[in-house]
Amino acid sequence: MNKIWTIHQLERKADDGFVINVHWRYAFAETPEDGERQYYADTYSVTSYTQGPEAESYIPYEELTEEIVIGWVKESIDLEAIEKSLEDQIEDQKNPPILQGLPWCQN
């Protein structure tokens, strides 16, 4: 299972560069050994931050890296619940709980 983090956008205050919103996506992708189909599930969200008294932990905008921002997001979300949801979505693709069709139109 490939786990893929993507930071799509940062919104920051114009006066001091403090990041107030992080737009992010977290995806799981799995390609079975037969390579015939890829299973994919993702979630997209925005995590917001407020400037607090802990100024010593402030990192200037120009010094931010994708790894730092992903770390912020991971600390701000229920990562275990999100990963469980993505795993469930992949499992539902592999073994659909609901099937569609018409019994008189089977091939």
| Prediction pTM value | 0.85
Query: Which residues have CB under 8 Å from 27's CB, separation 6+?
Result: 3, 4, 6, 40, 41, 42, 43, 86
Task: Kindly state the DSSP code that residue 49 receives in the 8-state scheme.
Answer: -
* Number of structural domains found in the chain: 1
Give the residue among 45, 29, 30, 31 at the shortest CA–CA distance from 79: 45
Domain that residue 10 falls in: 2-105
Cα(62)–Cα(14) distance, rounded to whole angstroms?
13
DSSP codes, 7-46: EEEEEE-TTT--EEEEEEEEEEEE--TT-S--EEEEEEEE
Return the bridge partners of 21, or none.
11, 48
For the chain, list residues with pLDDT below 70.
52-55, 107
Give the pLDDT confidence of 7-36 residue by residue, as tens digits: 999 999 999 899 999 999 999 999 988 878
Collapsing DSSP to helix, strand or coil, 6 comes out as: strand
